[in-house]
Amino acid sequence: DGCIKAVGQADVIRHQFSGATFERVIDCSGKCVIPGLVDAHTHPVWAGDRVHEFAMKLAGASYMEIHQAGGGIHFTVEHTQKATEEELFSTFKHRLECMCRAGSTLVECKSGYGLNLETELKMLRVIERAKQTMDIGISSTYCGAHAVPKGKTATEATDDIINNHLPKLKELQLSGEIHVNNIDVFCEKGVFDLESTRRILQAGKDTGLQINFHGDELHPMKSAELGAELGARAISHLEEVSDEGITAMARAKCAAVLLPTTAYMLRLKQPQARKMLEEGVIVALGSDFNPNAYCFSMPMVMHLACVNMKMSMNEALAAATINAAYALGKSDMHGSIETGKQGDLVIINSSRWEHLIYQFGCHEELINYIIIKGKVVYQNERCGTMSSY
């Protein structure tokens, strides 16, 4: 059934299963087995890359300057609206395969580059198709409030989402056409303010979606306090979170999904991971894969979390496994190697798992096998002939 049957000392397991036969045995002598990695925040469905904006950022343009000049999210929206479902699925599938080869066995995937109902649903159908046809686990997020559509005010966009998008979404959920897990809003100055964010998140919660949203990224917005109050499962970014917000999140057991790649690429101040951990916040990690922060690799995210956010390697591993699974409401079956949980594993060609973090950008040489639901979905032939430690 794809679940772990037993975990423990080798001699005990051998005795327990002495009469059993196995289709396949993997010799892990001198290797490490860790839980499949969980990427708690990605935007992987889109068309039209933004490599030209990277040059603008390097020349000093800020995220909001690019956004206001018609770039950023709006550039991607324009291309995604024009793309066919087939085109979007093809690139999305390739991106998920890259994430999987880098160790991710469960990924949160957002819509949000449609901004109109038709394109948002197109993106959610693409995500649903991958859920049904691919091995990798997916937690899907409706993020129609990713930006204010051109020609609309934030209030008009909020009304449209509450009166049109969410009822349609509920109808499609009930008919079994799509299955959405989370609701997300970009709560930010010049995008959706605190009151609009509250209205959308509450409406989403009322239709049965988990709250998991962008907050306190570029300006302090009191998003963390709002999330704690609404019973949010997780809040992402939090570069500008207040001390009160951190305390509120700890008390509410609301996970902080930190995105070191974004802070690194946008040259933002790093999220206060240490303060959050010390105050008892559940800290998770995500790649924030999107056209603005192009990174598939959770091992690289963990490395950046250790170096730039001062997390220990143990903390980073927990943040990229059990805590990230918690942020998606899936820690009952994902994120750790325990009897009864889903058999999602990464086998590393090294005698110490820490090499996955220490060897920056070298996961392609280190990851030997990816196993999802007890099935080998990726085997790296190169690991058979060389040693990585």
* Tens digits of residue pLDDT in 70-93: 788 889 999 999 999 999 999 999
**Is pLDDT above 90 for 253?**
yes
Mean pLDDT calculated for residue range 101-127: 98
Which residues are bridge partners to 251 per DSSP?
A: none
* Tens digits of residue pLDDT in 176-221: 999 999 999 999 999 999 999 999 999 999 999 999 999 999 999 9
Token pair for residue 336?
Answer: 């750790």
Check if the beta carbon of residue 324 is closer than 8 Å to that of residue 285.
yes
Q: Which amino acid is at 275?
A: K
pLDDT at 119: 98
* Tens digits of residue pLDDT in 317-328: 999 999 999 999
Token pair for residue 10?
Answer: 């080798």
Confidence band (pLDDT; 50, 70, 90) for 384?
low
> Could you please report the per-residue DSSP string of 145-198?
ESSPPTT--HHHHHHHIIIIIHHHHHHHHHTTS----EEEEBB-TTSB-HHHHH
pLDDT at 244: 98
Topology of 35-47+83-328 in CATH?
Answer: TIM Barrel (3.20.20)
| Stronger pLDDT, 34 or 383, i.e. the higher one | 34
pLDDT at 111: 98
pLDDT at 226: 98
| Average pLDDT score over the chain | 95
Mean pLDDT calculated for residue range 330-348: 98
**Is pLDDT above 80 for 232?**
yes
pLDDT at 389: 46
* Tens digits of residue pLDDT in 211-229: 999 999 999 999 999 999 9
Confidence band (pLDDT; 50, 70, 90) for 381?
confident
Task: Write the burial class of residue 132 (CB in 10 Å: 0-12 exposed, 13-18 middle, 19+ buried).
Answer: exposed
**Is pLDDT above 60 for 385?**
no
Domain extents for the chain?
Answer: 35-47+83-328
- As a whole-number percent, the residues of the chain with pLDDT over 70 amount to 98
pLDDT at 141: 98
pLDDT at 365: 92
**Is pLDDT above 80 for 58?**
yes
**Is pLDDT above 60 for 387?**
no
pLDDT at 259: 98
* Tens digits of residue pLDDT in 301-319: 999 999 999 999 999 999 9
Give the containing element (helix H, strand E) for 213. strand 210-215
pLDDT at 294: 95
Residues ≥6 apart with Cβ < 8 Å to 11: none
Look at residues 120, 231, 109, 110 and name the one whose alpha carbon lies nearest to residue 166.
120
